[in-house]
Amino acid sequence: MTKGEKTLEKLEILHRIYSQAGYSSDIVERTLDKLIAHEIAIAQKEAASLQAELQTFEAQYQMSSEDFYRRFHLGEMGDKVDFVEWSAFYKMRESVQKRLEILRSQSA
């Protein structure tokens, strides 16, 4: 069993005791709030770092990352190493942004 699967199993246990057994705990609630806040802080740092990488490419090629990514995937940009790297940074930033959206929706 992977670490992720073990974590999901533990979360499922909490879900079951909260939903089926009517359990409630201030400690669990505070811990989960802190965990989500911690994950938001980590994701924000990752997003800032990735944004800095993207801005370097944007300045170098005088193009927004969004425009680049669209054109890259249409095959208009070629397969230069810089473009492959820029595309990877863009996808990673998008992934972090989605994670932040989910985390923030849970902390609201």
Residues 6+ apart with CB under 8 A from 78: none
Distances (CA, A) of 7 to 11, 26, 29: 6, 21, 17
pLDDT 10s per residue in the chain (108 long)? 899 999 999 999 999 999 888 888 999 999 999 999 999 999 999 999 999 999 999 999 999 999 999 999 999 999 999 999 999 999 999 999 999 999 999 655
The terminus-to-terminus CA distance of the chain in angstroms comes to 33
CA-closest candidate to residue 106, choices 16, 38, 57: 38
